[in-house]
Structure 1
Amino acid sequence: MNALGLVVFVLVFGSSFEFFLNEGKKVCYGDLGCFSIDDPFDNTLGYLPESPEAIHFGLTLYTRTNSRTGVNLGYNDSASVARSSFNPNNPVKIIIHGYMANAYEPWVLNISSLFLKKEDCNVITVNWKNGARKIYPASAANTRVVGAAVAKFLEMLRNKHGVKMENVHVIGHSLGAQTSGYIGSRTPNMGRITGMDPAGPLFERYAEQVRLDPSDAKFVDVIHSDALPIEDAGFGTRKSCGHIDFFPNGGGHQPGCPPAYKTGVEELLTLRFNEAFLSVACSHERSYIYFAESLAAEPCKFTAYPCDSYEDFVKGTCNVCGDSPCPVMGNDAILSQSRRGNFYLVTNAQNPYCKNT
């Protein structure tokens, strides 16, 4: 096994002894229900989800009234919503971070701010920082509890505050994108999910109940920015999992990112696992950078084209969209929600990433 393979193997798989310890077991967390590792949820090498308290689950509301200082909400506390500036008539945007991250990452706060500049809405960030900083299979297991808690929160918004689920848009990165799928599967008629480079390891080869898929919302759009094999330090998935799947620069290594094999080894050997993950995650992070840029008031659009493969797209054999407008990657993908399939585009290597073609 080469050094890069060692980095990825340790970060993602760690030890699988938990499977033999927990086989057939389950955990229950009150109104969130019970969770087991029985088929089809046998994708976490035996790790069971931790409790909301253990993973430090939290919800923070931002509106135009309190755009800089968020207000904490309880997922099953209707009074906390009533006391806040939450407006049930406005769209609801829910942002979920991924592996080794938290809800106060600059990109989370930036997207929150951009949404509020663009429209009068309720932005809710989901924090599960303790649950996201475990060995990867344990964090993958924790996404189920996060999804259940957010779904319970949405149920309360619908039943107690009259929020229409069609007005809910969940935006998740990495494991947060897979979490979005769990939310959607528990929330009938949810409007939209945007998956920003959904995590591939321990999800890609499993049933739709385990991963994000088009049935999880009325419209599911996905940005693939790190869809390389795991042995090449790819943390995303090549599997199409939305109504529209965007593959910028082919969906693999993104221009401007350092080769993954040159990074991560030193951090791993000195047991700095968080730094090791971040050092090979440049392409993985590009998905939320592209989405944020799509929200900004820029004239350039991430126009994408239908094609059988990126190779054919590069050859210029499929740079038309027929009678319908070409879909745009990012926030405006909703304007092409009748389209289906895989779409390709190229970006610049640095900010601004949108490339006029």
Structure 2
Amino acid sequence: MLTRVVVLMCLVAASSAAPQSFYGHRSVPQRSLHENFPSKSFSRPTLDDIEFRLYTRESRNDPDRLITGNLTLLEGSKFKGHLPLVVVTHGFSETADDSEWMNATKNALLDKTDTNVILTQWQELANGLRYDIAARNTFYVGIALADLLEFLENNTEGFNGSRVHLVGFSLGAQVSGVAGHKYPGVARITGLDPAGPLFEDGNPESRLDASDADLVDAIHTNAGYLLTGHFGYNDPVGHLDFYVNGGSSQYGCPPFIWDSIVEIITLSPGDIDACSHGRAHEYFLESILASEPTLGFQCSDYEKFEVGECFDTPRAAMGYNVTRDAKGVFYVDTQGEAPFFSRHVEVNLTIGEGESTYHGELTFHTVLPGRETKEVVMFSGWPSLHPGDLHKTTLTIPSRTTMDEVPFDVVFHKNYLLPLSPNHLNVESIVAVDTYTEQEYCLASKKVLQTGTTYSLKATLGSC
């Protein structure tokens, strides 16, 4: 297993040049995009390796194929230039033929509004023995998509870039970035956990960045570096970057470092679309379907967000109905299983009188029958706790759920390495704020928490 990992690292190292080095810093003429392709071991890409499949409300199960330069196909299709266009592009080792997430996204978009939806099929260029070749092919596919958009604008009344929304997952996000760069004026690009390996130091022309569209938003779910088992781009790429559950790994997903790295070599689609990485397109799909948005909060880092220090900062809706006038890095937490979207709860606990100092750990747990929920540590172990001290943390409840519907368990464990420390914690108050409605609730007032005992708290509207 380790040998395979080393092989992948060698491939990445050997291919560290930016993907545009395949084609140079130029706009490559159509049907000659494979010029200067350096590998003799793999087939050169051609436009025959790419399909653009058009779906509309009249043809959601029977797509029209669009080919740049083919007016007969365009005129015989159901494309409507006065309607918006959403182009969805898959990632490495995927196919549009039987992609559940692409099909579900297409249907959700068509249910949401009367629009044109194109699914980009580039399976032959995204699937193979080497990720590095697929990564470099994103530049080729991006130029092909840009050519198609220009062809539609030149031959369809009412159509231009202001109607275009490009949505790409993993390598598909990098395809979308190239397309936006080569076809200026795209209204929006949404990057769903943009691929990281081989793009970390790449020229912005060969990857997604904020200059590729009027609005670029990204959902990061597996951000990091390949050496640590992450497939997503680590740094912000757009006008709005949402780091979900910290952006590195997703709540409810199994640990996945070495096994998934091995699968990227053996090309198992199930694990390339690994749990945390693939959550990005699940979140985007849910954002189309949801009646209530999930809000991200601008914050300098995830640790500060988790201890409740960023609820007075700008906020933005994530996904399809993104807050368009917001800018910056936003953090958002989710539930561990679908439906994922959550409301964030700011919890404020004030230490009560009675003892001069307390030492111990306090944990909260949202009780949702039938669903896995995570334990949140408000404070732990060694710091001294004094009467009047205010401590904060962040909890989540499912979207469209009110605070008084959800009980919260709280447990205090004294630090037994400090035997003189009290066996209890006096609490002056525990106040919770539903950050979606801004309503304040009282969870507890003047309560004594005995060590090791679980207390179930019920929210009551109003202050304590």
TM-score, normalised to structure 2, is: 0.67
Aligned to 1:331: 320
1:214-265 deviation digits (Å, cap 9, x = unpaired): 1000000000000122112100011110000000101001011111136348
Alignment size in residue pairs = 336
Distance 1:243 1:264 in 2: 30
Specify every segment of 5 or more residues in structure 2 that has no aligned partner in the other structure, as ranges.
Answer: 345-464
Mapped contact 1:61–1:124 kept (Cα < 8 A)? yes
Displacement of 1:321 in angstroms is 3.5
Q: Distance between the aligned counterparts of 1:276 and 1:64, measured in 2?
A: 29
Q: Which residue number corresponds to residue 190 of structure 1?
A: 186
Give the structure 1 partner of residue 341 of structure 2: 354
1:224 to 220, 227, 252: 220
| 1:312 partnered with 2:309 | no
Question: SS state of the match for residue 233, structure 2?
Answer: coil
Shift, 1:356, TM fit: 2.0
Looking at structure 2, the residues matched to 306 and 142 of structure 1 have their Cα atoms a distance apart, in angstroms, of 34
2:22, 2:196 → 1: CA distance? 25
After TM superposition, list the pairs within 5 Å mapping 1:199-218 onto structure 2. Answer: 199-218=195-214
Counterpart secondary structure, 1:256: coil
Q: Tell me the percent identity.
A: 32
CA contact (8 A) 1:174 1:199 kept: yes
Q: Which amino acid aligns with 2:306?
A: V
Equivalent residue of 1:171, what SS?
strand
Measured after TM superposition, the shift of residue 34 of structure 1 is 4.7
> Does the 8 Å contact 2:223/2:231 carry over to 1?
yes
Q: CA deviation at 1:355?
A: 1.1
Q: How has the CA–CA distance of structure 1 residues 280 and 90 changed in structure 2, closer, same or farther, with 3 Å as cutoff?
A: closer
Give unmatched runs, 5+ long, in structure 1. Answer: 39-43
Aligned counterparts of 1:241 and 1:176: Cα–Cα separation in 2: 14
Partner in structure 1 of residue 280 of structure 2 = 287
Cα distance in 2 between the residues matched to 1:305 and 1:292: 21
- Aligned position for 1:69: 62
Deviation (angstroms), 1:16:
6.9
1:261–1:45 Cα change, 3 Å:
farther
- Highest Rg: 1 or 2? 2
Q: Equivalents in 2 of 1:211, 1:49: separation in Å? A: 23
Q: 1:168 to 1:312 in 2, by over 3 A?
A: same
Deviation at 1:188, TM superposition (A): 1.4
1:248 to 231, 234, 244: 244
Deviations 1:263-290 (Å, cap 9, x if unpaired)? 348868xxx7122871672111000000
Is the 1:49–1:141 contact (alpha carbons within 8 Å) kept by the matching residues of 2?
A: no
Q: CA separation in 2, counterparts of 1:252 and 1:72? A: 37
Partner of 1:81: 74
Quick one: distance in 1 between partners of 2:234 and 2:15? 28
Report the more deviating stretch, 114-123 or 70-79.
Answer: 70-79
3-state SS of the aligned residue for 2:179?
helix
**RMSD (Å), alpha carbons:** 3.0
Q: Answer 1 or 2: which has greater helix percent.
A: 1
C-alpha deviations, 1:54-86, integer Å up to 9, x for none? 6x2101010000112212111332221110111
Residue 123 of structure 2 is aligned to residue 129 of structure 1: yes
Q: TM-score, normalised by structure 1?
A: 0.85
The aligned amino acid for 2:108 is L
What whole-Å deviation, never above 9, does each CA across 1:14-63 have from its counterpart, x for those lacking one? 3877899xxx986997525556779xxxxx99999932246x21010100
Counterparts in 2 of 1:116 and 1:58: CA distance versus 1, 3 Å: same
Greater share of strand: 2
Residues 1:117 and 2:114 are matched in the alignment: no
Verify: 1:172 aligned to 2:168, yes or no: yes
Distance 2:12 2:224 in 1: 23
SS of match in other structure, 1:332: coil
Match of 1:139 among 131, 134, 141: 134
